[in-house]
Chain A
Amino acid sequence: MVAVKKEGAIVMGEYFTLIIQIFQLPFMIRALIVGVLISLCASLLGVSLVLKRYSMIGDGLSHVGFGALALAAAFNVTPLYVAIPVVILTAFLLLRVNESGKLKGDAAVAMISASALAIGVLIVSVSETNVDLNSYLFGSIYAISNQDMYLSICLSVAVILLYLVFYNKMFAVVFDENFARATGAKATAYNMVMACLTAVTVVVGMRLVGSLLISSLIIFPALTSMRICKTFKKVIISSSAVGIVCIVVGIISSFLLDVPASACIVLINLTAYIIFTVIGFIKEKYSKEA
């Protein structure tokens, strides 16, 4: 019994020193900084996207981002310089398609994202660049350079500031676009701001979690928070917190367990969702009985 306890203590101690070591590794610090900022942006925007039934747009944009990154690698250009404008343009296009109603929104997104993914794969296989397909699709905590980190700091600060400035207008437009338009708000402009911010977040976050799983950063924290929170403000605050906690825990545990970070982050988000669902269920039952 005593031996088991002692062994446990040693294991705990080892983990503790490992965690301290993590904060001395430059690539881990970069990954954590980028991760926290990106998940903050993603969860802020996610609340509006999920409520507006635009969840699929994040997914579509990430696939288009993959195509753009592959293109940039083939022509040997800095990836983000190609990916950001391409993805922003796609975001505007998707919004237009959604509003005009000619093609059903979800079908349009599915079509565009599959095509972009196919183009990306073709480019990667034809051009004989030494591109690691895996790291584009599933991301990598080792892929973040100093340049990526500075860029993502600037972009996320911009996203967060714009979000704060437009917070009240965004709420009115998301809750009831017709009312907002009728009383003179420029709803189309706010939708575009939102699409643009989402595009930037998706591209920057792709390096870390990959194009296949980036949309989970957008939708999970919002869905998780909506299980419990009953006001818009609380949902926003809670999903920022959930997003940040999940990505930090995800990155650290992926390093400790030596498994891909993106998969870890998504599964931890899923766990958080399940926990919140259970709490919400119990809360509701309790309040009904009370």
Chain B
Amino acid sequence: MLIECKNVRLAYENHIVADNLSFSVNKGDYLCIIGENGSGKTTLMKALLGLKTVEAGSISHGEGLRQNEIGYLPQQTGIQKDFPASVWEVVLSGRINRLGFKPFYSSKDRKIAEENMARLNITNIKDKCYRELSGGQQQRVLLARALCATQKLLLLDEPVAGLDLLATEEMYHIIYDLNRQNGITVIMITHDVDRAVRDATHILHLHKKDVFFGEKSHYLECDTCRQFNQNEAESGHGCCKKGGCHCNG
């Protein structure tokens, strides 16, 4: 087990956004976190990254996963939009977690940065200025940076926000390949439920204080889960109770 959350309670500005949240992520999983705005998706991701403490419960790392072995693709900030930096500088900065007390990057760091640029097909824009790239290119640069930090686990916070259709499709494709072909575990926040259901292996749906966690197939089968999915208010159907479905139906 790579990450295990037990009875986690999360708060954002003194409001409890999620309570009694339990789930686990195994090696090779592709977990999509879905839910409305304000349902605590980003707060949960910050807690997984150790940027935020949980109010109750625990989050533990397994299989020798260390804090500095997690790759993270945050939502873009205003600061980055007019930042004078080359693609190379940004990608290489993904190796910051390996610097320790060393002041400069080693040739190994540079090699890994180059490999990840090649992997995401951005070697040709290596010397370009980050702020002059298209949205899709910028996201690929940030993904390459995240890959420089990890070989195991990627956390992505709405990686397709603000991208056009073509760039969105391309981004999902890259993430899918990283998961299925390179065996990198992916935890992704998204608004795109259809796409989540298509690519992911597991779904975590936050809805007010109810939570669904389970494999994708159960998310599709389970009545209560489907209500989650369609946001219907009435209930009356029970949970499928199959395969450890964790919905609260």
Contact = CB atoms under 8 A, between A and B. Distances in A.
B103 A230 contact: no
B28 to A, nearest CB: 21
Contact of B90 (A166, A175, A235): A175
Contacts of B118: none
A122 B99 CA distance: 49
Interface of A: 51-53, 164-169, 171-172, 174-176, 178-185, 226, 229-235
A279 to B, nearest CB: 15
A53 B72 CA distance: 23
A181 B155 CA distance: 14
A180 B96 CA distance: 7
Contacts of B67: 183-184
Given A183-B68, A183-B70, A175 B83 contact: yes
A179 B79 CA distance: 13
Given A171-B89, A183-B97, A231-B129, A165 B72 contact: no
Given A168-B93, A232-B85, 14 more contacts: A51-B79, A171-B93, A175-B83, A178-B77, A179-B146, A181-B49, A182-B72, A183-B94, A183-B96, A183-B149, A184-B68, A185-B96, A230-B86, A232-B84
B51 interface: yes
A168 B79 contact: no
Contacts of B50: 182
A92 B233 CA distance: 51
8 contacts: A168-B99, A172-B96, A176-B74, A176-B79, A181-B49, A182-B49, A182-B51, A183-B149
Contact of A178 (B51, B66, B70, B96): B51
Interface residues of B, number: 35
Given A169-B96, A171-B89, A233-B89, A176 B77 contact: yes
Contacts of A167: 103
Interface in B16-75: 49-51, 66-68, 70-72, 74
A179 B84 contact: no
A172 to B, nearest CB: 4
A165 B103 CA distance: 5
Given A182-B50, A183-B70, A168 B85 contact: no
Given A171-B89, A176-B74, A184 B80 contact: no
B246 interface: no
Nearest to A234: B84
Contacts of B12: none
B177 interface: no
Nearest to A184: B68
Interface string B164-182: 0000000000000000000
Contacts of A178: 51, 72, 74, 77
B207 interface: no
B132 interface: yes
The residue among A182, A229, A233 with the most chain B CB atoms within 10 A of its own CB is A182
B202 interface: no
A230 B105 contact: no
A171 B95 CA distance: 12
A165 B146 CA distance: 23
B84 A235 contact: yes
Contacts of B80: 175-176
Contacts of A235: 84
A53 B68 CA distance: 27
A226 B89 CA distance: 16
B222 to A, nearest CB: 33
Contacts of A230: 84, 86, 128-129, 132
Nearest to B131: A230
A230 B88 CA distance: 12
Interface in B195-212: none
Given A179-B74, A184-B67, A226 B84 contact: yes
B9 interface: no
A168 B70 contact: no
